[in-house]
Structure 1
Amino acid sequence: MTYTIYDFIGNIGLFLLLGTYFLLLLNKIESRSVLYSLSNAAASTLIGISLLVDFNLSAFLVEVFWLAISLFGIGKWCYLRRKATPPAR
C-alpha cells in the first residue's frame, strides 16, 4: 500500500471529525454552534475527497449525507442568526 496525498487529506478529515466529536463530549463546543457544523462539513469533504481515489460506495454515501446534514445545520444557524438580528433603520 502506498500513502498518497489523498490518504493524507482523508486523514486530516478523520482527525478533524474525531477532534470535533471529542470537543463536543468535553463540552468545549455545542452541537448547535456553527463551528460544530462547519467542522463536520470540512471533515466530510476531506474524507470524501480521499474516497474519490479509492472509491467505496457505502463510505462515500455516509460522507455525502454527513455533509448535507452539516450544511443544513449551517443554514439553520444562519437563518436563526438573521432572524435574531433587529432590522436596520
Structure 2
Amino acid sequence: MINLDWASMVGFVGTACIIGAYAYLTYKEEPNPFILHGTNLTGAALLTVSLVVHTNWPSLVLEGFWAAIAVWGLAKALKTRRKSA
C-alpha cells in the first residue's frame, strides 16, 4: 500500500480539477467560462501547494502559467459579462 501525505492528496485533488475542467470543455457545446477557468485555477492552486512541499521546479513553473491563463480567462469572462449587462 502506498502511503500518501497530505500534500500529495491535495495534489491529486488539483489534478482531478484540471482533468475535470478539460473534460467539461470537451463535453459542453458552450462551456461556462467561470466554471472552466475557475476549476482550472483551483486545480493549479492545489497542485502548487503540493509542489511547494514536494518541489518539482518544471511542474511548479507549469502551474504558474496554468494559473495565469485561468486568471486571464476569468478576467475576459468578467469583461464580456459586464459588456452584455
Same fold (TM over 0.5): yes
Could you tell me the percent identity over the aligned residues?
A: 25
- Equivalence for 1:69: 69
Q: Is the 8 A contact 2:37 2:74 kept in 1?
A: yes
Q: Is 1:29–1:36's contact at 8 Å kept on the other side of the alignment?
A: no
Normalised to the residue count of structure 2, the TM-score between the two structures is 0.89
- Normalising by structure 1, report the TM-score: 0.85
The offset of 1:83, in angstroms, is 1.5
Give 1:50's aligned residue. 50
Runs (5+) with no aligned partner, structure 2: none
8 Å Cα contact 2:24-2:36 kept in structure 1: no
- SS at 1:55's partner residue? coil
Letter aligned with residue 21 of structure 1:
Y
Count of matched residue pairs? 84
- Measured after TM superposition, the shift of residue 24 of structure 1 is 1.8
Return structure 1 stretches of 4+ with deviation > 2 angstroms. Answer: none
**Residue number in structure 1 paired with 2:23:** 22
Q: Please give the root-mean-square deviation of Cα atoms over the aligned residues, in Å.
A: 1.6
Equivalence for 1:84: 84
Letter in 2 for 1:67: A
